[in-house]
């Protein structure tokens, strides 16, 4: 039975790159995104990359019905061994100071970056427990550093890291990793720096070898960066915000 990975935010950036990497390693892959057309393009590319099945479900991770459908689809594909909480939102752009941050924007950021991953974990846990699977929560150094303007995003990722720590303590039969992938050339990063040239940032694909190594080596639950996991496989750059 093929291993199955569920990756949220799989139409572009790190989610798409990781889906491609896992497909090449023979995994079944379930991906989602809000943009149905972009998701279908990613599905076709991932499907061509490996022998496993690829399922793409358009939707919003903040929708509990969509979450249930995602986990159901992944479980029906085979052994659900990996949940990757990659979907996320930067929050308002340009990035506001805390003095100007609207409470509604903070709430929306928390719903996507914190509450949605929790719902996915809760739905996937029975399957992950049965096979000693793993949860990979994508985090950021904005969770541990104080960058002006990054209050909403940083707070959501700090909370996700604490949720991950508690989950690791409560679920010793699975692995729980929260991973800072470092700076990347993604749309979210461009939105954080509108009008700036971010072409010097590494492509998300350069982060995938380290993540594949993590999944295969299954180190203890904890916080990791891609540079710690595979320094030679990643491009040099500032930590991601």
SS3 category, 158: helix
State yes or no: pLDDT of 104 exceeds 80. Answer: yes
- pLDDT tens, 8-47? 999 999 999 999 999 999 999 999 999 999 999 999 999 9
- pLDDT tens, 157-203? 999 999 999 999 999 999 999 999 988 877 777 777 788 887 888 89
Angle, in degrees to the nearest 10, between helices 151-170 and 103-110: 30
State yes or no: pLDDT of 233 exceeds 50. Answer: no
pTM: 0.93
pLDDT computed for residue 162 by the predictor? 98
State yes or no: pLDDT of 124 exceeds 50. Answer: yes
Distances (CA, A) of 70 to 22, 46, 61, 63: 18, 17, 9, 11
Active-site annotation holds for 153: yes
Check residues 2 and 30 and name the one with the higher pLDDT. Answer: 30
pLDDT computed for residue 200 by the predictor? 85
pLDDT computed for residue 48 by the predictor? 98
Structural contact between residues 174 and 163, judged by C-beta atoms closer than 8 angstroms: no
What is the pLDDT of the chain when averaged over all its residues? Answer: 93
State yes or no: pLDDT of 121 exceeds 70. Answer: yes
Q: Residue 237's pLDDT band (boundaries 50, 70, 90)?
A: very low
Structural contact between residues 53 and 28, judged by C-beta atoms closer than 8 angstroms: yes
Please report the domains of the chain, with CATH numbers, ordered by start residue. 3-233 (3.40.50.720)
The edge-to-edge listing of strands for the beta sheet with 28-33 is 54-58, 28-33, 3-7, 79-85, 134-138, 175-180, 222-225
Distances (CA, A) of 228 to 105, 148, 185, 217: 33, 26, 20, 13
State yes or no: pLDDT of 231 exceeds 50. Answer: yes
Two tokens at 90? 């930067």
- pLDDT tens, 196-223? 887 888 899 999 999 999 999 999 999 9
What are the E-state strand segments in 35-145? 54-58, 79-85, 134-138
Average pLDDT in the 105-133 region? 98
Which of 18-32, 106-120, 133-147, 178-192 shows the lowest mean pLDDT across its residues? 178-192
pLDDT computed for residue 187 by the predictor? 76
State yes or no: pLDDT of 122 exceeds 70. Answer: yes
pLDDT computed for residue 186 by the predictor? 76
pLDDT computed for residue 240 by the predictor? 36
Q: Which of 27, 150, 153, 178 is catalytic?
A: 153
Structural contact between residues 225 and 170, judged by C-beta atoms closer than 8 angstroms: no
Structural contact between residues 5 and 81, judged by C-beta atoms closer than 8 angstroms: yes
């Amino acid at each position: 039975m093929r291993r199955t990975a569920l990756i949220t935010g799989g139409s572009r950036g790190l989610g798409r790159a990781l889906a491609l990497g896992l497909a090449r390693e023979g995994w079944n892959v379930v991906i989602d995104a809000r943009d149905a057309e972009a998701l279908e393009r990613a599905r076709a590319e991932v499907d061509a990359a490996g022998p496993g099945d690829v399922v793409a479900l358009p939707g919003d991770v903040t929708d509990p019905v969509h979450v249930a459908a995602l986990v159901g689809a992944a479980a029906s594909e085979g052994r659900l061994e990996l949940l990757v909480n990659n979907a996320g939102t930067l929050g308002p752009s340009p990035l506001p100071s805390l003095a100007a941050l609207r409470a509604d924007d903070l709430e929306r950021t928390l719903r996507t970056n914190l509450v949605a991953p929790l719902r996915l974990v809760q739905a996937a846990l029975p399957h992950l427990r049965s096979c000693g699977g793993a949860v990979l929560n994508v985090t950021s150094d904005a969770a541990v550093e104080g960058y002006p303007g990054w209050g909403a995003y940083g707070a959501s990722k700090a909370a996700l890291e604490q949720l991950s720590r508690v989950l690791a303590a409560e679920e010793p039969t699975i692995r729980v990793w929260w991973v800072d992938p470092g700076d990347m050339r993604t749309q979210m990063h461009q939105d954080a720096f509108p009008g700036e040239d971010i072409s010097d940032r590494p492509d998300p694909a350069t982060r995938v070898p380290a993540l594949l190594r993590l999944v295969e080596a299954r180190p203890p639950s904890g916080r990791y960066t891609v540079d710690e996991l595979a320094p030679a496989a990643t491009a040099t750059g500032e930590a991601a915000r």
